[in-house]
């Protein structure tokens, strides 16, 4: 399928803005320094079957495009903002995420490099889910990258809010901690929910769990005025996290049907929140 070149279309769903359009065009029109946190998972250039986007560019074309996108994210990000870029390589393109990071060195500082663990075997028990790699050469890919990019590498992060309680409570008094919490570190185990059908995955080949953008927003820290941006919104998962946390989200997606899924998911979430409050 070819990429859509039509004009963008914007709509409001609750406090959020959904834009059906091309990320680069939309970002170029956004005001500078208007976003607190950008969280996104772009196409990885691994041939996933998206509806309107062909996920198979030449490597250089892909890297040039992503560098242009990220330069625009830098422009719209506030001075103290955070950009969480979730991406993974593949067995045939293992260097791609790292090559992209090298290209971004002139634009951003890599403040934290978080590994999103989708599945892990502890002793003989497997936790979480992964797509099996059927190969005599490669092991299954159970993790992805979350690159935390900032303008100058000096954005304070909410280590404890995003952290975990101590397992050994004696640490609290021995090490003089004010609260029963410590930093979670740079490995985040966030499994997908178990699903049986493609419909439960919103008929989209590459979504992330709501808990991932939630963890990013928690680590950066937000207030009621904070604005989240996801330039590759897909089915609207980042905006669901924004809604749960009471902030405004702006999502851009090239495919009309994925925008419709995002709209529906958001409406359901907003009405569920109203019912429970
Ligand atoms: C990895 S998916 C994002 C999935 C999302 N995180 C979710 O949970 O649903 C990448 C998305 O980028 C969209 N996309 C591809 N090219 C685009 C472009 N030029 N502008 C905006 N969106 C684009 C694809 O249609 C796809 O939905």
CA atoms of 94 and 141, how far apart (whole Å): 11
Whether 237 lines ligand 1, by a CB cut-off of 6 Å, is yes
Domain that holds residue 65: 9-276
- pLDDT of 1 reads 39
CA of 235 to the centre of ligand 1 (A): 8
CATH of the domain at 129: 3.40.50.150
Residue 145 host element (H or E): strand 143-150
Q: Which residues of 84-113 are buried (b: 16+ CB within 10 A; e: fewer)?
A: bbbbbbeeebeebbebbbeebeebbeebbe
Residue 3 lies in a domain: no
Q: Establish if 52 belongs to a structural domain.
A: yes
Is 43 a pocket residue for ligand 1 (Cβ < 6 Å)? Answer: yes
CA distances in angstroms from 98 to 5, 89, 114, 143, listed in the order given: 30, 9, 13, 14
The tally of domains found in the chain comes to 1
Structural domain contains residue 242: yes
> Has residue 2 been placed in a domain?
no
Rounded Cα gap, residues 268 and 240, in angstroms: 10
| Per-residue pLDDT at 6 | 65
243 lines ligand 1 (CB under 6 A): no
Consecutive 10-residue runs of the chain (277 residues): their mean pLDDT?
A: 67 98 98 98 86 86 97 98 96 93 98 97 92 90 97 98 93 92 97 76 83 98 98 98 98 96 96 85
CB of 84 within 6 A of ligand 1: the answer is: no
Q: Could you tell me how many residues make up the chain?
A: 277
The residue nearest atom 15 of ligand 1, judged by CA position, is 53
Considering just the CA atoms, what is the radius of gyration of the chain in Å? Answer: 19
In a domain, 4, yes or no: no
Token pair recorded at residue 48 = 């996933």
Judge whether 265 lies within some domain.
Answer: yes
Q: What is the 3-state secondary structure (H, E, C) of 85-98?
A: EEECCCCCCCCHHH
Q: Decide: 22 in ligand 1 pocket, CB within 6 A.
A: yes
State how far the Cα of 230 lies from the Cα of 232, in Å rounded to an integer: 5
Domain assignment present for residue 143? The answer is: yes
DSSP 201-254: GTT-S----THHHHHHHHHH---TT-EEEETT-TTTHHHHHHHHTT-EEEEEES
Query: Does residue 111 contact residue 149 with C-beta atoms inside 8 Å?
Result: yes
Indicate if the alpha-carbon torsion angle 121, 122, 123, 126 is positive or negative. negative
Q: Is the residue at 1 inside a domain? A: no
């Amino acid at each position: 399928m070819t990429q859509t070149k039509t004009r963008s279309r914007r709509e409001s769903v609750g406090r959020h803005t959904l834009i059906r359009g091309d990320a680069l065009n939309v970002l170029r029109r956004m005001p500078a320094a208007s976003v607190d946190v950008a969280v996104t998972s772009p196409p990885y250039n691994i041939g996933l079957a998206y509806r309107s986007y062909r996920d198979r560019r030449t490597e250089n074309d892909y890297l040039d495009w992503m560098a242009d996108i990220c330069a625009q994210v830098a422009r719209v990000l506030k001075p103290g903002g955070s950009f969480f870029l979730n991406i993974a390589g593949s067995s045939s393109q293992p260097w791609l995420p790292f090559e992209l990071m090298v290209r971004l060195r002139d634009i951003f500082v890599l403040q934290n490099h978080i590994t999103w663990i989708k599945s892990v075997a502890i002793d003989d028990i497997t936790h979480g889910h992964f797509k099996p790699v059927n190969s005599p050469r490669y092991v299954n890919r159970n993790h992805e990258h979350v690159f935390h990019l900032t303008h100058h590498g000096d954005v304070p992060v909410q280590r404890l809010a995003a952290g975990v309680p101590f397992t050994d409570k004696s640490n609290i008094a021995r090490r003089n901690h004010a609260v029963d919490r410590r930093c979670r570190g740079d490995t985040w185990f966030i499994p997908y929910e178990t699903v049986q059908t493609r419909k439960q995955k919103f008929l989209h080949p590459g979504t992330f769990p709501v808990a991932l953008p939630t963890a990013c927003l928690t680590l950066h820290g937000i207030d009621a005025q904070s604005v989240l941006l996801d330039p590759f919104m897909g089915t609207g998962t980042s905006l669901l996290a924004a809604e749960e946390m009471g902030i405004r989200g702006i999502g851009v997606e090239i495919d009309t049907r994925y925008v419709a899924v995002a709209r529906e998911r958001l409406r359901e979430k907003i009405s569920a929140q109203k019912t429970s409050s």
